[in-house]
Amino acid sequence: MQEWYDAIASAQNVEKLEEIRIAVFGKKGVLAGEFAKMKSIPNEEKGVFAKELNMHKSRLTEAFNARKEILALEALEAGMKAEAIDVTLLSRQSGRGALHPVMQTMDRIVEYFVSMNFSVKTGPMIEDDFHNFEALNLPKYHPARDMQDTFYFKDEMLLRTHTSPVQIRTMMREKPPIRMIAPGAVFRRDYDLTHTPMFHQVEGLLVDEEGKVSFANLKFILEDFLKYMFGDVDVRFRPSFFPFTEPSAEVDISCIFCGGDGCRVCSKTGWIEVLGCGIVDPNVFKAVGYKNVSGYAFGLGVERFAMLIHRIGDLRSLFEGDIRLLEQFK
């Protein structure tokens, strides 16, 4: 019997083990042969013989099953080993595309103001003189019109130079209170290193009863907004001039490149101009037929924000669809 124990223990593969199974447990196998001997054994010895034989049968079965399990595991391991891959060969690039940095920035700006309860308003790109200039306290002969080189059409229509006409259209359509932003493309006839004939603005407007809206309110929202966009920066308001607001201010943030120490980007001043704002000029309210109201307004260039946030050096590269730039925003 011992030789069969040894044979099971040393079987090297499933096939060999199967041969042994047939030789041991098969109909003509060793065990069957031994049990057949029972007939010729005297009755008084039968009990001992049968007991010993049954013990061998169960121990051989046990040894066989144990060996079978080991061999199955070894076979699985060998199979898997054959499937080994070199993961170092398989590094991947994402096949995703990307949103344009200017549009992403626009999305972030809109998200902020929507969560501050501003509504989003849009309007036509082709505008008339009234909505783009006249109603914004920019009469025909006003020198401040020089500030905005305009694309005109042959029929005296024009491409809007800012999104402010959307504010005028909203005020002429709706009653106060108004709390809105107008995101969109605007156009100026200027094309060089730092100007493109098209760029994007987000302008904001808030109007309520006379005496309710103050410069202090304007400061609050812009300080909060600029910290949301740029992180922990200092915010500075400088008095300035816009025909449609009064008092007016330009808003600077401490330079995000040098932290205010002075560098090339901020022209050594430590400050970067990012916004224009002010209290809405009464002439604007007069033009849209509002009485006894007060309000604030502000406006910003989205490309400038995107360039500062993502440290993009060349404005014109934003309009070239160049994948070398775009794929960085995946």
Partner 1 sequence: MIVTRHWLNEWIDLSDITTEQLVKTFNEIGLEVDRVQQYRIPEGIVVGKVIACEKHPDADKLNVCQVDVGDATRQIVCGAHNVAAGQYVPVAVIGAVMPDGMEIKPVKLRGVDSAGMICSSTELGLPKTNDGILVLDESIGVLDAGNLLKKYPLINDDLIEIELTANRGDCLSIRGVARDLCAAFEKSLKPVPDRREEKNQIGIGKLLKLEVDADIKASVRYHAVALKSFDTPLLTTLRLAMIEANCENSVEMWLEYAMHSTGVILRAYPVDFFRSGSDEVGDIQIKEDENGFAAVFGRERASIIGIRQEDGSRLKDMQGTVVIEASYIAPEIISQQMSENKLESGPLYYRTSRGSEPELSIGTDFLLTHIEEKDIGRIYGGKLVYSEEFEEKHIGIDIAYVDSIVGTTIDKSRVANILKNLGFDISKSSEEHFIVSVPRYRHDIVNRQDLIEEIVRIVGIDNIPSKPFVLSEADRLEEDYFTFRKKQLYRQRAAQSGFFESVHFIFNERQQLDALGFASVAKELGLLNPIAGTLDTLRPTLLLGLLNAASSNTRNGQKRVPLFEIGSVFDVQRNESVKMALLFAGALHEDMLENAGKPEEVSFQSFAQLAADVLGDVTFEPYVPAHGLAHPYQSAAVYQKGKKIGEMFTLHPSVQKQMNLGRTVMFEGDFDTLVYAKVEAANYSKFQASFRDLSILIPQNMPYKQVAEVIDNARSGEIVRFYPVDSYTDEALGDAMSLTVRFVLQSQEKTLEEEDITSAMAGVLEALQTLLGVELR
For partner 1, the binding residues in 253-272 under the rule CB under 8 A are 269
CA-to-CA distance for 74 and 118, rounded, in angstroms? 68
Does position 206 interact with partner 1 (CB under 8 A)? The reply is yes
Range 165-204, binding partner 1 (CB under 8 A): 177, 179-180, 183, 185, 187, 189-191, 196-198
Return the number of the residue (26 or 139) whose C-beta is nearest partner 1.
139
* Binding-site member from 36, 66, 147, 172 for partner 1 (CB under 8 A): 147
DSSP at 192: B
Return the number of the residue (63 or 278) whose C-beta is nearest partner 1.
278
Return the number of the residue (109 or 308) whose C-beta is nearest partner 1.
109
What b-and-e string marks burial along 158-167, b requiring 16 or more CB atoms within 10 Å of the CB?
A: bbbbbbbbbb
Q: Which residues contact 296 (CB under 8 A, 6 or more apart)?
A: 205, 206, 213, 215, 217, 218, 245, 277, 278, 279, 280
Task: Name the minimum Å distance from CB 256 to partner 1.
Answer: 19
CA-to-CA distance for 20 and 245, rounded, in angstroms? 100
Range 23-62, binding partner 1 (CB under 8 A): none
The residue type found at 234 is D
φ, ψ dihedrals at 242, nearest 5°: -135, 140
* Binding-site member from 204, 294, 298, 315 for partner 1 (CB under 8 A): 294
Task: Name the minimum Å distance from CB 206 to partner 1.
Answer: 7
Return the number of the residue (9 or 323) whose C-beta is nearest partner 1.
323
* Binding-site member from 248, 255, 256, 290 for partner 1 (CB under 8 A): 248
First to last CA, the chain: 71
CA 292 to each of CA 171, 193, 200, 212: distance values in angstroms, whole numbers, following the listed order: 14, 44, 32, 10
Range 80-119, binding partner 1 (CB under 8 A): 89-90, 93, 95-100, 102-103, 107, 110, 114, 117, 119
